[in-house]
Amino acid sequence: MSVIQLDRRKGKAKPLYQQISQYLSNSIMSGVYVEGQRLPSVSQMVKDFDVDYRTVMFALEELGNRNLIKIDGKRAHGPIVIQGGTKRLVISYIRWDHDSMSLAFTRGINQYLAESDIECLVVDAHRSYDAYIEAMNHLAENIKGVIVMPFEGKGCEDIINKHIEGGVNVVLIDRNLPGVNASSVSMDNVAGAHEAAVHLFEVQKSPVYYIGLTRSPSSAYNRYSGWRTAMGEYGILDCSKYTYDVYEICGSDLSELSDEEQLRHFTQIAEKLFTENPQDKYSILCCADLVAMGVYKAAERKGLQIGKDVFVVGFGDSAFCERLTVPLSSVNQSNELVGYEAAKFMETICTGEMTGRIQRVLPARLCIRESSKGI
């Protein structure tokens, strides 16, 4: 029997018997061992896994409690598999793009899959609404759950509700969707934006501009709301003068455009902000790190220096933040954790351990760097 390399380190995530149990369970569920077939003998598994007798027995006891095997007392022959892999939980992840956020979600989902009996089919939409809707409309027959990042006003609501009514479980990732009774996992965008705006206020003692989407998706709206709350705390109740709404200016949320095309629009919006508001210093909160990069480019064209004339915070804590000439302050989103928790949510929903609509919000963390520290 080919076996896994067990994690024997101090502080390992799972004890050895659970790692063995998980490996054997996956082997049964994937059809390596079929119903009626015997697993290797206990003595053989002791040798193969290089563990003691008790560790193997604990692992087999766990499998027995799950009705996967039957231990009939014939130690020389090994336990009998009593349930094959036909009931393995299969879910799907509709991946919007190959951008860093989508891939981080994928890593988190895969991390949880390695710890569970779930199989996940990843379907790429390639940043196309048509492909996205097509993928949502044509799920494989054995799919029991879907993890998806939803979009408002694209027909998502009807499709997701149809799946839910048909018995397919849905977990929304990164954001919520009005009119859909599905659980979700996202970051605390409100608190993250509020902390970032307060930080900028304290550094410069002046109002903070906001560049980004303001209505949808819910993640963007929550960032906008966190910024507005901070503005109100500093006595600025009318925020319209300080709001640069991407959708209002561009007539689109730009989500189907490439990063290069989006950056060009964000740079133009930042130039518009600087032109319409001539002043010595600026504080700007951006709804995404790519928006902040547009501020960097616009500032350079206007002869302004980031961290001296322009104080800026992004959102996402992308890998490039620390690599810019002036490192960018940003709110860390921990997208891998979002993916991990979404997959975990899905399993508990599909197995009936969790019922009802739950909106899980994970903590965000502001990473302060030179772009907003001040002199």
Domains of the chain and CATH, by start: 16-85 (1.10.10.10), 87-187+336-362 (3.40.50.2300), 189-334+365-373 (3.40.50.2300)
- The confidence score (pLDDT) of residue 94 equals 95
Rounded to two decimals, what is the model's pTM?
Answer: 0.75
CA distance 64 to 239: 62
pLDDT tens for each residue of the chain, 375 residues long: 656 788 888 877 788 998 898 888 877 876 777 788 888 899 999 999 999 999 999 999 888 888 888 887 666 678 888 865 545 688 999 999 999 999 999 999 999 988 887 889 999 999 999 999 999 998 887 788 999 999 987 788 999 999 999 889 999 999 999 889 899 999 999 999 999 999 999 998 999 999 999 999 999 999 999 999 999 999 999 999 999 999 999 998 898 899 999 999 999 999 999 999 999 999 999 999 999 999 999 999 999 999 999 999 999 999 999 999 999 999 998 899 999 999 999 988 887 777 778 899 999 999 999 999 975
CA distance 302 to 108: 41
- Residue-wise pLDDT for 92-117, tens only, equals 999 999 999 999 999 999 999 888 87
CA angle 136, 91, 183 (to 5 degrees): 75
SS3 154: coil
Helices (H), 7-76: 16-29, 42-49, 53-65
- The confidence score (pLDDT) of residue 331 equals 98
- Tokens in use for 352? 């009936």
Q: How many angstroms separate the most distant Cα atoms in the chain?
A: 85
Tell me the sheet residues that pair with 121.
92
- The confidence score (pLDDT) of residue 86 equals 47
CA distance 312 to 370: 9
- The confidence score (pLDDT) of residue 74 equals 62
